Chain A
Amino acid sequence: MANELLLSVKDLRTWYELKKWGFFHTGHVKALDGVTFDLSHGEALTVVGESGSGKTTLIKTILGLVPATSGEITFSSHKLDGKTSIGWLRSKVGFVQQDPYGALPPFMSVRRILLEPMVINKTGTSIEREQRIREVMEEVRLLPVNDFLSKFPHMLSGGQQQRLVIARAMILRPSLIVADEPVSMLDASVRVEILELMRKVQKTHDLGVIYITHDLSTVRYFSERVFIMYAARFVEKAEVREIIHNTLHPYTKALLTAIPDPDPENANQYRDVPAGEPPSLVKPPSGCRFHPRCPVRIEGLCEEEQPPAFESSRDHFVECWLYRK
């Protein structure tokens, strides 16, 4: 069961059309441009990338919120295309949003928020629904349950709101949860609590989880595999330890250099990071997208051709010409 494929994404592209005055086609924002990965049942993986690298578009495409331009998504052996029943997909994929307060309707009580998905999906009798609500609330530790049921989102703290969002994502017993920066809006002391909770939920229910973040330092507390995203592509895919201790792609190296650990020594040294900004996704650079900022680019190759994913060691893929075979 553990190795059975839950989600398979092949060469996925999601382009947003740019129009001038509403109808003249002027180009595309290539928010996802050739993304491939597999996720097994009960596996957690993390996608790390900067803002504008296409992380959220990836989630939106998997959730069916935006149509894919090309490529294939297979979710528990169903091919997702325009004909897939959205209702079925929604009941199988839970979504944990970034901003818990924005994701919760302010006029609904906790009970109503958790009831809503079951009403829409017509699952269970009212007694079963009530039981399920209590079960999930106990699981995310919104305790004592009775105190919380009639509360409204604004009465909860940030951490409690995020627990409620997780509870709502779980209530229909999905097999996949996608979490878009679930802890970035929370305080440091609460962040760990939520990450541990998500990890526990994932383990107990054998859930597949895709965790999207820009914060590489939280990754090791959450998942085994990590994908580094830069300008709409995965530039490096490997296990967390492998990424940290055997970093290959120049972009990943820069990213690791940029992330400080709390250490008073930091104040005495400069960080060796490339200048510049991520490229425009309307006209991405030719060849490797990192080449204009790359300190070790190979002239005549990197700007000409997009590097394919080289497998440098087992399960460690890197899209960089330095590691060609």
Chain B
Amino acid sequence: MNERSSVTGTAPVRTGDGRATNGEILRVKDLCLHFRTSRGVLQAVDNVSFSMQRRRSIAVLGESGCGKTSLARAILRLLPRNVHLYTGEVYLDGTNVMKLSDDWFRQKVRWVKMSMVSQAAMNSLNPVLKVGYQVAEPLLIHHRMPKKEALNRAREVFRIVGVPDDFLQRYAFELSGGMRQRAILAMALVTSPQLVILDEPTSALDMLTQANIFNALKDIKNQLDVSFILITHDISTSSDLADEVLIMYAGQLVEHSLSTTGYVKPLHPYARGLMASVPTLREDKKLEFIPGQPPSLINPPTGCRFATRCPQRFDQCSHEPPVFAVGEQGELVKCWLHRNA
């Protein structure tokens, strides 16, 4: 019961962060999400653990199919029907939300404490409802707020994300792609969540619009008490927002480091290959690529999942799954090369 009461934040304005333990907003421990498919059990997210501090933003990077989006869905408990296994612990603001019932989670956690901007969400706006109403809707539902008040709050959030006030009265088709994406962002921020998951927030937008949206995100990060998890495969763009970098490979986390290490000199061989494959505009560098393909997640290799493509593998790699080692700057890396003595 105690745990439940601590997530009952009903006020739309954020309650203080006194409850938080050592400034930690999210801690994920041994999170697994496996799906049932016709060919067997697919380990989309396998034993992922990480933690993040308040007002930080983490970029989750990896190739398509490595489990980035599944991780986001597992944290938000937005699960499809074919879930085979969904275990682990997700502490949000000190509370293990995995223990909450589905109803309670829906009413008091999702879109109240954390929200999400999903991929290509700008196309999911309802065409027959005014944008302002759609943005205010979470308040009407979660906080039972009077409509007028909710619309006022929506107007406030519109201002934060950089949408003119009169757009409240418009329909989705009257908005450009960039404005629609901002409206979706407003929808995610309207309940003042502490954690917002951005799943490829700008992948469908033009370069200039993308830069504008990231400017808005930086503003939000600097002004509000909100943490971002940015899921993307666009490594260059992710550096615009990230304080920390999580690198996923084949359903597992392989490296968690600060952006100053993660983008510059990553430790895991996969992370190194990934960073070396990013084309840069301003400096001349020889691009590299990682030969081969990621393993199937249905019967992943027993040892390190990257072993078959790794240029630095040795015997142990293909037999024993590596454990996390701590690097010099506190990076966590799942590789036998970096084992701590």
Residues on A facing B (Cβ under 8 Å): 50-51, 157-159, 187-193, 195-196, 214-218, 220-221, 244, 254-264, 266-267, 270-271, 273-275, 277-278
The answer to whether B277 and A188 have CB atoms under 8 Å apart is yes
Is B264 at the interface (CB under 8 A from chain A)? yes
- Interface readout for B282-295 with A: 1 if CB under 8 Å, 0 if not? 11100111110100
The answer to whether B63 and A260 have CB atoms under 8 Å apart is no
Kindly identify which residue among A187, A191, A196, A261 contacts B280, using a CB–CB cutoff of 8 Å.
Answer: A261
7 contacts between A and B (CB under 8 A): A192-B277, A218-B279, A261-B239, A264-B258, A264-B262, A271-B240, A273-B212
A189 to chain B minimum Cβ distance, whole angstroms, is: 5
The 7 tightest CB contacts between A and B, nearest first, are A258-B211, A264-B259, A50-B206, A187-B63, A192-B287, A217-B281, A271-B211
Interface SS of B by simple majority: loop
User: Within 8 Å CB of A255, what residues of B?
Assistant: 207-208
The answer to whether A267 and B242 have CB atoms under 8 Å apart is yes
B69 to chain A minimum Cβ distance, whole angstroms, is: 14
The answer to whether A277 and B209 have CB atoms under 8 Å apart is yes
Given A260-B239, A273-B211, A274-B208, A192 and B279 contact (CB-CB distance below 8 Å): yes
B173 to chain A minimum Cβ distance, whole angstroms, is: 14
The answer to whether A258 and B210 have CB atoms under 8 Å apart is yes
The answer to whether A263 and B239 have CB atoms under 8 Å apart is yes
Is B278 at the interface (CB under 8 A from chain A)? yes
A50, A188, A216, A255 interface centre (most CB from chain B within 10 Å):
A188
Instruction: Kindly report which residue of chain A lies nearest to residue B262, judged by CB atoms.
Output: A264
Given A261-B236, A262-B239, A267-B239, A189 and B277 contact (CB-CB distance below 8 Å): yes
User: Within 8 Å CB of A278, what residues of B?
Assistant: 206
Query: Complex: how many Å from CA A258 to CA B178?
Result: 14
User: Within 8 Å CB of A50, what residues of B?
Assistant: 206-208
B194 to chain A minimum Cβ distance, whole angstroms, is: 20
User: Within 8 Å CB of B176, what residues of A?
Assistant: 277
Instruction: Kindly report which residue of chain A lies nearest to residue B309, judged by CB atoms.
Output: A189
Instruction: Kindly report which residue of chain B lies nearest to residue A263, judged by CB atoms.
Output: B239
User: Within 8 Å CB of A188, what residues of B?
Assistant: 63, 233-235, 274, 277-278
The answer to whether A277 and B178 have CB atoms under 8 Å apart is yes
Query: Complex: how many Å from CA A263 to CA B236?
Result: 7
Query: Complex: how many Å from CA A271 to CA B215?
Result: 7
- Interface readout for B202-235 with A: 1 if CB under 8 Å, 0 if not? 0000111111101100100000000000000111
B 268-327 contacts with A by CB, 8 A: 273-275, 277-284, 287-291, 293
Kindly identify which residue among A189, A215, A257 contacts B273, using a CB–CB cutoff of 8 Å.
Answer: A189
B224 to chain A minimum Cβ distance, whole angstroms, is: 16
User: Within 8 Å CB of B240, what residues of A?
Assistant: 260, 266-267, 271
User: Within 8 Å CB of A190, what residues of B?
Assistant: 289
Is B64 at the interface (CB under 8 A from chain A)? yes
The answer to whether B207 and A259 have CB atoms under 8 Å apart is yes
Instruction: Kindly report which residue of chain A lies nearest to residue B287, judged by CB atoms.
Output: A192
The answer to whether A189 and B208 have CB atoms under 8 Å apart is no
The answer to whether B289 and A273 have CB atoms under 8 Å apart is no
Query: Complex: how many Å from CA A13 to CA B298?
Result: 52
Instruction: Kindly report which residue of chain B lies nearest to residue A270, judged by CB atoms.
Output: B215
Query: Complex: how many Å from CA A259 to CA B210?
Result: 9
B49 to chain A minimum Cβ distance, whole angstroms, is: 23
Query: Complex: how many Å from CA A266 to CA B241?
Result: 7
Instruction: Kindly report which residue of chain B lies nearest to residue A264, judged by CB atoms.
Output: B259
User: Within 8 Å CB of B273, what residues of A?
Assistant: 189
Kindly identify which residue among B207, B239, B290 contacts A189, using a CB–CB cutoff of 8 Å.
Answer: B290
- Interface readout for B234-261 with A: 1 if CB under 8 Å, 0 if not? 1111111111000000000000001110
User: Within 8 Å CB of B111, what residues of A?
Assistant: none
Query: Complex: how many Å from CA A241 to CA B90?
Result: 49
Query: Complex: how many Å from CA A286 to CA B130?
Result: 32
Instruction: Kindly report which residue of chain A lies nearest to residue B66, judged by CB atoms.
Output: A187
User: Within 8 Å CB of B35, what residues of A?
Assistant: none
Given A157-B293, A258-B211, A259-B236, A264 and B260 contact (CB-CB distance below 8 Å): yes
Given A187-B63, A262-B236, A192 and B280 contact (CB-CB distance below 8 Å): no
Is B336 at the interface (CB under 8 A from chain A)? no
B 140-196 contacts with A by CB, 8 A: 176-178
Is B105 at the interface (CB under 8 A from chain A)? no
User: Within 8 Å CB of A159, what residues of B?
Assistant: 293
Kindly identify which residue among B208, B258, B287 contacts A273, using a CB–CB cutoff of 8 Å.
Answer: B208
A158, A190, A259 interface centre (most CB from chain B within 10 Å):
A259
Given A51-B206, A217-B281, A260 and B237 contact (CB-CB distance below 8 Å): yes
The answer to whether A271 and B260 have CB atoms under 8 Å apart is no
The answer to whether B218 and A189 have CB atoms under 8 Å apart is no
User: Within 8 Å CB of B283, what residues of A?
Assistant: 261
User: Within 8 Å CB of B236, what residues of A?
Assistant: 217, 259-262
Kindly identify which residue among B207, B241, B259, B262 contacts A214, using a CB–CB cutoff of 8 Å.
Answer: B207
